[in-house]
Homo-oligomer: A and B are copies of this chain.
Amino acid sequence: MQQKIEQRERIYINSGKGQERTRIVIEGVKPELDGGRFSIKRIIGDRIVVEADIFADGHDILSAALLYRKESDTEWIEDPMELLSNDRWRASFVVPRPGRYLYTIEAWPNRFKTWQQDIVRKIEAKQDISVDLLIGAQLIDEASHRASKSDASDMQKWAETLRSSQMSPSTKNKLAMASKLAKVVNNYQNRAFAVTYSKELAVEVDREKARFSSWYEMFPRSCTSRPDLHGTFKDCEKRLPYISEMGFDVLYFPPIHPIGHTNRKGKNNTTTARPSDPGTPWAIGSEEGGHKSIHPQLGTLEDFHHLIGRAQEFGIEIALDLAFQCSPDHPYVREHPEWFRWRPDGTVQYAENPPKKYQDIYPLEFETDNWKELWEELKSIVLFWIAQGVRIFRVDNPHTKPFAFWEWLIVEVKKDYPEVIFLSEAFTRPKIMYHLAKRGFTQSYTYFTWRNVKWELIQYFTELTQSEVREFFHPNLWPNTPDILSDYLRDGGRPAFMTRLVLAATLGANYGIYGPLFELCENRRKDRESEEYLESEKYELKQWDIESHGSLKNFIARINSIRSNNPALQSNLNLHFHAVDNEQLICYSKRTEDLSNVMLVIVNLDYNYKQSGWTNLSTEELGIDSNKIYSVHDLIDGSTYSWQGANNYIELDPHKIPAHIFRVQRPSPGFS
């Protein structure tokens, strides 16, 4: 039974309002994040299972209902909850559209059901039930006032029968115990003593891409055919087939806005730039405009529109960078000096993390008295790019702006554009990283970039996928970024790039690479200490030979195609680690809920040596009979192995292919 009900006066437990005569407690509600302060996240089409402890004093049988609605709707939809055991109740609902849904719980004593249970026991014990029949008649009468005309007439007849001195005891007993009677009366329960859970809990529902996406980051200005030329949006269009062939569906650009001149950085992050140095795209703003303008050397707004359209044809969405900071030449500095922090010498405070200095960048001062106008202006930037067709934003350093600002911004934007995705680039302390996701960020960068050995990968991905974190945090895994060339990639070269790619693409339903440096296995660092690339394209124009012989583009294409064809890899919910008796081999599976798609991944973490070992698989997790033979089909190289039970031999050579991505092929039922 599912019925729409109007919002009406309710007694909320713990709210103090009229609770004295209500006897029901609703607690231990799951899912519920931080006492209901934050929404959980789900994807359209997901089924949300809600459980709660519901009980009352005394012996009354209870009824409970799950109430849910899209926040913008005015009417609740109500589904009955089912009692599992130990006072635990459950119901579920599906969220078909993107946006915000609310849910709560209502429970009430079911007087009639209690009465019927008691009278059945009394009849069985052959006790006198004459008064009980009168009580039942009263309950039915009372319910009939809420009933439809035809039901009401039936109910009045039944009440008369129970009261009648003409009817035989056996007729009356039969009626009292009748399931039809129960069913009808149950439709018109007395909810005068109903209580509603004190909170309305929220679900933020995103489109599918929030959970499953493949990102490619690229500097548009490097899409050039000659090293001395500045790449353009038109050049980017020519690169689309290449990106599409590799199987990526999000193309993310660092900031595309005019770049400041004052204190512009030179090659390798030097503080003095030559006139020909282009500057870092994150030093946003010049006399040519700010966050709503396009760097003239990239092209025009029209070019950008054209690029978005072309990308769409390839199934690719363009993601932009939201870096809320300004070069000293940004128009805001002139127009809104109060949005910056001024120093006693009359200069603006530039960004710094002592002893590091970023003199080409002024942070915004969110503690300004004029914060309201600042917030509105920043929102208008997002809306401007939405108007140009952008629906995905990678947000630069969100952890250096107030949480409250992000929460407001994301709610405001998603009110009208629930399909917008915000990726949080918060490479900071773990609690801050998680908190930003709670405040509304759709996806988040993770520590994957620095998790290389088996135990830390298992520990971290268990936390991400098995703890409460799974309720609000969509991880997006990046083996490299323009700021991070890890020790592992630097030292391991090509085998390491393959290993990290497979890990990112199979441990995370969302992942991305920073190319073409990644597929070209670029691993030269500026120095030993920092993770900066040597001659980083953050500070200079570069040109990349994407057709180079050693490129991983075909390997990447294969991996992305495996992701597209196997729904198990499109979510992280059923990630499970299996034992292998070699610390250099990591083994895990992902499966669909119904076991129709089961993937088993084994990766050699050692980029130097061939490693071998024996698995000890949780066969139940794979849907496999531990005694029978089954086959695993490697979707990377096409080979098939015949395996039995939990223990199977594995051998992986990093200088060939450092990983297996098996599809587990369970024998058909007749097979043995």
Contact = CB atoms under 8 A, between A and B. Distances in A.
A275 interface: no
B87 A21 contact: no
Nearest to A193: B367
A12 to B, nearest CB: 13
A405 to B, nearest CB: 7
23 contacts: A14-B37, A20-B372, A20-B375, A20-B404, A20-B408, A21-B367, A22-B402, A25-B435, A58-B399, A58-B400, A59-B400, A87-B429, A87-B432, A119-B354, A127-B354, A127-B355, A131-B344, A131-B345, A131-B347, A134-B345, A135-B343, A135-B344, A193-B367
B355 A122 contact: yes
Contacts of A14: 37
A19 interface: yes
B21 A55 contact: no
A403 B37 contact: no
A352 B343 CA distance: 80
A398 B57 CA distance: 8
A488 interface: no
Given A371-B20, A405-B20, A53 B431 contact: yes
A353 B59 contact: yes
A353 B122 CA distance: 10
A12 B124 CA distance: 60
Contact of A354 (B25, B87, B121, B375): B121
A249 to B, nearest CB: 31
B366 A401 contact: no
A138 interface: yes
Interface string A49-79: 0000101011100000000000000000000
A117 B130 CA distance: 85
A55 B429 contact: yes
Contacts of A22: 402, 404
Contacts of A23: 366-367, 402-404
A27 interface: yes
Contacts of A402: 20-23, 57
Nearest to A16: B404
A86 B131 contact: no
A376 interface: no
Contacts of A121: 354-355
A125 interface: yes
Interface string A394-425: 00001111111100100000000000000000
A431 B86 contact: yes
Contacts of A367: 21, 23, 193
Contacts of A19: 404
Nearest to A426: B57
A343 B134 contact: yes
Given A21-B402, A23-B402, A131-B345, 10 more contacts: A23-B404, A25-B403, A55-B431, A87-B429, A118-B352, A127-B354, A130-B345, A131-B343, A135-B343, A137-B344
Contacts of A401: 57
A670 interface: no
A430 interface: yes
Nearest to A341: B135
Contact of A86 (B21, B130, B344, B429): B429
A550 interface: no
Contacts of A127: 354-355, 357
A302 interface: no
A612 to B, nearest CB: 37
Contacts of A335: none
Given A22-B404, A354-B121, A55 B131 contact: no
A669 interface: no
Contacts of A366: 21, 23
Interface centre among A58, A345, A366, A432, by most B CB within 10 Å? A58
A9 interface: no
Contacts of A193: 367
A137 B193 CA distance: 65
Contacts of A405: 20
A593 interface: no
Contacts of A37: 14
A529 to B, nearest CB: 15
Interface in A99-141: 117-119, 121-122, 124-125, 127, 130-131, 134-135, 137-138
Nearest to A399: B57
B34 A27 contact: yes
A35 interface: yes
A214 to B, nearest CB: 30
A402 B13 CA distance: 13
Contacts of A430: 86
Contacts of A345: 130-131, 134
B20 A57 contact: no
